[in-house]
Amino acid sequence: MKTKLLFGCSANQGRSPTAEALFKDHPRYEARSAGTENGARIKVTAGHLGWADLIFCMEKKHADRLRDNFPEEITGKPLITLRIPDDYRFMDPELIELLRAELGAHGEL
């Protein structure tokens, strides 16, 4: 069974969809992404959090929003902040390099 990874950022346009794309067709992981803002392309729901085995947020504010809005859904689940600022576009090579480094530090990728 694959480990389910959820990636969260603000608008679900650059960082989290890029992280999700890194795991497309991965043999050990399945990934999804969502945003914490009201205008997000895909807004995070309780269903996303219930599905996930591991939750990665790009910034502390995203993790704080999940804790505030979904306390029961994230109880007992690893919630990891990657500290990646909103300075990148979807599939930006610098973003991919940064994601690989940060995820590698957490034992993923």
pTM: 0.96
Query: What is the average per-residue pLDDT within 4-31?
Result: 97
CB burial string 5-35: b at 16+ within 10 A, e below: bbbbbbbbbbbbbbbbebbeeeeebbbbbbb
By mean pLDDT, which of 70-74, 94-98, 101-105 is the weakest? 101-105
Query: Which residues on neighbouring strands pair with residue 33, listed in sequence order?
Result: 7
What is the number of other CB atoms lying within 10 angstroms of the CB of residue 98?
19
Q: Which stretches does DSSP call E strand in the chain?
A: 3-9, 29-35, 54-57, 79-81
Tokens at 36, concatenated: 């914490």
User: Would you place residue 109 in the very low, low, confident or very high pLDDT band (cuts 50, 70, 90)?
Assistant: low
For the stretch 19-78, pLDDT in tens is: 999 999 999 999 999 999 999 999 999 999 999 999 999 999 999 999 999 999 999 999
Looking up tokens 């979807």 gives 90
